[in-house]
Structure 1
């Protein structure tokens, strides 16, 4: 039997310190590194604790997957730019003379279009729309918010994604949920109760369309972009290498937007969705690898020398390094939080408040805090779901009532909410990367909007709790 670790309040110090330092210094790498070093000493691991933590955290399939995916996408972005495809697409959109509002709405719609991967979505939307939004004087903070909000909040609502398979899989064998089919039915029933995700998607559309006016730090960023033409604040540090932001198209190449941009995107989506339907697992990374090889061959046929293609690929890898550095440290501090029992501590301090009326709201809060502190929604799901569903079933006599459905949705929505707010989250980092935004600026401007959506979701769960019993 696995031993339950709970180091108490000490367990949340590394995560809180990393977040506080990141906001105070605006240097995420140094903040995460310092928090990891201090955390290993607090955990009693001594002077060799930090290098050991790095080795064990990064030598995992999970980190390898997100690192390779990020690298492959960066290489594809470099290919898109070297062939002039991004520039051609941007020029096509600019020729339509879209307003600032229309540009933001287009970014919002693109995020929902590539719903199958919360990792690809913010990178794709940010990269595709960056030059267009820059010319429309949309701040990078605003673009990264739209890109981030079209990632996990959309993926967690669609039944044909890895999120659906993962969440439903965690429910199998609990209470009345016996088979995977039962679990998927529960996921579908829970979609209308996934209030944070639903509210966020709608809220972003209203903000993008100008129906809800910008406020707080985002308004300040937007005023700067509109009045001064500065899409980044003075002194900002975009989370992407200059190799990607300053890359020019190969001299003399003909801009073939369909061949070098639209077709590769269609191929990626076809492979990812097709493999999910056939194999019940979306092979997203394999899709990017296949398309990367396809584009390399295509570029050579179009007249780009092999040496230039390899240089472009290398520049793509270099451009991904800033994000990978932060991802590596974020994964390390997440691993440290698990070792110190951060999640167990958060759950233990909330046990005295549980009642059927408050259960959905409390579960939502616990999942939110846990995901914010650890920077991982999927890790939060894995810990919370086996606790939340049995509790819900205990209050319903083993029947899958509205309370059970709401608790399932509360775990899903809370994990996304906390992950959405956290500077340690991989999707938050990837949104900053794709939009070439300062990471902490993205987090600070996004946070008030996420908190409002989270507050509305919490109120909805309180209503459900008191009316479903």
Structure 2
């Protein structure tokens, strides 16, 4: 569809979605109204809404996220039906870990499955939920830890799809002629990706109690500790009851290694192995393989075929609440592209792009764009081809600190905005994995993200003035 130039009106759908989400606490209705309003502003009429859904949800990117979320829902159901989650939880509880230790374990688990920002928050939330509940850790806190161990970690590791994607956007710009040149740029930019680095460290300090909770998170944690309520009264966990209330099959022996650790190791080995050998992480294929393996394994262990299929169906049902929000979030993202939101944000900031301010402004623009659209990867695709030529033009074509910092600012800014946005898929998946109320997760996470974003912004300002 042809991109329009609607100026400030292009921001309306995103603003409506975000504001209504906080006011009504009903993300689905807020996103639907935003989509409907956007199609009317774009002159597509009432029938533009179903057309928008049809075109947005027919994309390969949405199909990938939807299928991955569904596969994970099924695997989680298998984990619970075999008693693996319960067995792992009991193992951790037998260690009599403190609240701080439980949070630190969740932090480490997120970094362990760094290869997928979609799998990581679901895996951490699902694995640690019952453990953190018994330790009286609020669901808001668990979803924050799970979310912060996803994209901020993935965007720093050179052997992930994020690295391949970001580096590919740099090929052909300035002196970056090959994939090797681009990957070298990515590696040089790692120390300058301030938001991601600071976020990972900050989460560890928060989890370990070095930095005390503040703001809405402090209230959530006090509620959990004093009242034993891991969710606030009236909260609506972003996950189906099929997954939160599932019981193990009667009489089955909980085999933590066979039914939990081995499947997770298989996913990691297949995803990383395919990336290292064919330069493409086959994450979806890894999950499908593990699903088949677990289905056969469950049958061999004595679980009837009918029960296995019912468990599979319950896993799909449990993933539906998140999929609905993801579908509408993708529709908002598509609508923003059509209405020219990104072009407008860039146009109003062009006059600020001086050499000294370049990395900082790029960081801010990327953050605003990702927050408005809920897509860090979409932000990368738009901002990187603009940021790098500007930086190279100011350095005379040399790969200087300014160029490296500009590359890192796009990556970090995209993650920052995505991290704060209720429209973001990883934010949604973190709420799903932790079974937290989605808006409660966003409200408690934003102050922490803003602290890290503010520190990153100062870092880019210093770099900008030192580079000239």
* Distance (whole Å) between structure 1 residues aligned to residue 366 and residue 10 of structure 2: 16
How far does residue 5 in structure 1 lie from its aligned partner after superposition? 3.4
When normalised by structure 1's length, the TM-score is: 0.99
How far does residue 7 in structure 1 lie from its aligned partner after superposition? 1.1
How far does residue 4 in structure 1 lie from its aligned partner after superposition? 5.7
Give the secondary-structure state (helix, strand or coil) at the position aligned to 1:171: coil
Runs (5+) with no aligned partner, structure 2: none
Match of residue 119 from structure 2: 120
Q: How does 1:29-428 map to 2 (within 5 A)?
A: 29-428=28-427
* Distance (whole Å) between structure 1 residues aligned to residue 303 and residue 46 of structure 2: 50
Give the secondary-structure state (helix, strand or coil) at the position aligned to 2:169: helix
How far does residue 47 in structure 1 lie from its aligned partner after superposition? 1.6
Contact 1:5 1:344 in 2 (8 A): no
> Which segments of structure 1 move beyond 4 Å, counting only runs of 4 or more?
none
Runs (5+) with no aligned partner, structure 1: none
* Distance (whole Å) between structure 1 residues aligned to residue 144 and residue 2 of structure 2: 40
Deviations 1:19-61 (A, max 9, x none): 0000000000000000000100000001210000000000010
When normalised by structure 2's length, the TM-score is: 1.00
Deviations 1:349-380 (A, max 9, x none): 00011100000000000000000000000000
* Distance (whole Å) between structure 1 residues aligned to residue 277 and residue 7 of structure 2: 45
Give the secondary-structure state (helix, strand or coil) at the position aligned to 2:292: helix
How far does residue 6 in structure 1 lie from its aligned partner after superposition? 2.4
How far does residue 3 in structure 1 lie from its aligned partner after superposition? 6.6
Deviations 1:217-265 (A, max 9, x none): 0000000000000000000000000000000000000010000000000
Give the secondary-structure state (helix, strand or coil) at the position aligned to 1:437: coil
Contact 2:2 2:338 in 1 (8 A): no
What's the RMSD between the two structures over aligned residues? Answer: 0.7
Deviations 1:128-178 (A, max 9, x none): 000000000000000000000000000000000000000000000000101
* Distance (whole Å) between structure 2 residues aligned to residue 42 and residue 3 of structure 1: 15
Q: How many residues align?
A: 468
Deviations 1:186-213 (A, max 9, x none): 0000000000000000000000000000
